[in-house]
Amino acid sequence: MKNKPLPSARPDFSLCFLLVVLLSPFTFSAQAQQPPEPPQSTTPSAVSLTLKRAIELALQNSSDIQVAKLQASLANRSAMITKSQFLPNLYAGSGAGYTLGIPETPGGRAPALFNVTYTEQVFNEPLRGQGKELQEQAKSQKILLEDARNNVIVRTASTYLELAMVRHSLELLRKEQDSADKILAVTQQREKENFELPVAVTKDQLTRARVVQRILQLEGRQDELEVVLRGQTGFPESTQIDVTPEDLPGIAEQEGANLVALAMQGNVALKVAQSDVRAREFRLTGEKRGYYPTLQLVSVYSLLGRFNNYDQFFKTFERNNVNAGIQVQVPIFSAQTKANIALAQVNLDVAKAALANKKTEISAAVRVKTRRLRERDAAKEVARLELQLAQQDVSVFQSQFAEGRINVREVEKARLEENNRWLAYLDANFQRQQAQLDLLQTAGQLDKVWQ
C-alpha cells in the first residue's frame, strides 16, 4: 500500500494581507509616538571673553611659560650638584685586579673585597662660592619666568584689543559700504539725466572699491587674530570668541619720575642684571678665600681577603679595616687660585657695567614711552573731537534733508565721513593701548594691572 504524497504547503496571501491591514494603524501610531531625533547642530559654539579672563587662560595654557618653568627647574637642579658636596655622601663598591708586589689598587689603597667610603666637604670656600653663584643663577631663571609671563600678557592683551577694534571697524565699514552704494546709485542716476559727468561716477566707484578692499583686508586680519587668540586661550578651532572693547586700567597715567622709580624695582631685565652682579660677587668672594685651608670629612671601611698575600708583606693581617678622620689642605703657593680671582674680578666688573648701562637704558626708555603715551593721548583726543564734529555734521545734514534743502547723496557723504572719523578714532585708541602696554611692561607693572 503506497502512501499518497501530501499537498505542498502554500502561504495564504489573503490572510497575511488582512493581518497587515489590521496591524498597520498600531504600527503607525507607535511610530508617531516616538519623538523625532533632534538634528545635530553644526553651529560652532560661542564663548564670551573679557580681557582679564583671556589673560588668565593664556597664562594657564602658554607653552612659553611651561618652557620657562622647566628651565628654572633645570637651573635649580644644576645648583644642587655643587651644594651636594657639602652634604653626606656614602659610596660602596668592590673590584678585582692583578698585582705584582705589594698589594694595592691603582689609587694606592689596599685591595678589598668590599669597601664603603664617606665624604663631606666642611670648609671649601671656592667650592661654596661656585655653589652660591649657581643658586643665584637659578633665581635669575625664576625672574626670566616672570618675563615669560609678561610677554604672554602683552601678546594676549594686544591680540584681544586689536580683535575688538577690527570687529568694530568691520561693522563701520559695512555701513560705509551701504552709504557708498547709495551715493553711487544717486550719482549714476544723475549722470543718466546729464546732471553729472562720468568722472563723478568713476570717483564714487573708486570710493566704494576702496571700502570693499579694506573690508577684505580687515576680514583677513580678523581671521588671523581669532586663530592666535584661540591658540593662546586653549579653545578649539570651532569656537567662536566674542570680545568686547575695553580700556586698560589707568596705572600708567602716572608721572614719568614715579614710573622710573617703579621700573628700577620691577623691570625684569634690570632684575636679571642685578642677580648677575650678585652671582659674580659670590664667585669672587669664594675665589678670594681660596687661600684659606680646606677641610673635608673622610671615612673608609674595607673588608680585606687573605688571598691577596698580605702575610708576605705585613706582619699581621686585619680583615676589617676602618679609617676615619679629616683631610686638611693648606695652600702654600697656588697660581690657579690667583688666576681664578683675576677672572672672577673681571666678570664682576663686566656685570656691574652691564647693570649700570641697563639702568640708564630703562630710565630713558620709560621717559620716552611716557612721552609716546602722552602723544597717543593727544592723538586720541584729536580723533575724538573730529568724530564729534562729523557726528554734528550728520545731524545738520539730516535736518537739511528733512527740510528738502539737500539730497540723499549729501547725507550719505556726511555719514561716510562720520564712519571714517570713527575708524580713525578706533585706530588712535588702539595705538594708545599699545603704548600703554609697552610702558607697563617696561615699568614692570603688568602683574599689578589685573590683580
Give pLDDT, residue 253.
54
Give pLDDT, residue 250.
58
Give pLDDT, residue 312.
78
Tell me which residue has cell 497587515.
Answer: 20
b or e along 187-220 (b: 16 or more beta carbons within 10 Å of the residue's beta carbon)?
bbebbeeeebeeeebeebeebbeebeebbeebee
Residue 142, class by beta-carbon neighbours within 10 Å (0-12 exposed, 13-18 middle, 19+ buried)? Answer: middle
Give pLDDT, residue 43.
47
Q: With helix as H, strand as E and coil as C, how does the chain read?
A: CCCCCCCCCCCCHHHHHHHHHHHHHHHHHHHHHCCCCCCCCCCCCEEEECHHHHHHHHHHHCHHHHHHHHHHHHHHHHHHHHHHHHCCEEEEECCCCCCCCCCCCCCCCCCCCEEEEEEEEEECHHHHHHHHHHHHHHHHHHHHHHHHHHHHHHHHHHHHHHHHHHHHHHHHHHHHHHHHHHHHHHHHHHHHCCCCCHHHHHHHHHHHHHHHHHHHHHHHHHHHHHHHHHHHHCCCCCCEEEECCCCCCHHHCCCHHHHHHHHHHHCHHHHHHHHHHHHHHHHHHHHHHHHCCEEEEEEEEEECCHHHCHHHCCCCCCCEEEEEEEEEECCCCCHHHHHHHHHHHHHHHHHHHHHHHHHHHHHHHHHHHHHHHHHHHHHHHHHHHHHHHHHHHHHHHHHHHHCCCCCHHHHHHHHHHHHHHHHHHHHHHHHHHHHHHHHHHHHCCHHHHCC
Question: What does pTM read for this prediction?
Answer: 0.77
Q: What one-letter code names the amino acid at 181?
A: D
In contact, 298 and 118? CB cutoff 8 Å: yes
Alpha-carbon distances, residue 73 vs 132, 152, 187, 215, 299 (angstroms): 16, 20, 70, 48, 33
Give the pLDDT confidence of 349-394 residue by residue, as tens digits.
999 999 999 999 999 999 999 999 999 999 999 999 999 999 999 9
| Closest residue by Cα to residue 154 from 370, 379, 451, 445 | 445
Cα torsion at 418, 419, 422, 428 (round to 10°)? -110
Tell me which residue has cell 680585606.
Answer: 304
Please list the ranges in the chain whose pLDDT falls under 50. 1-43
| Closest residue by Cα to residue 126 from 328, 292, 343, 327 | 292
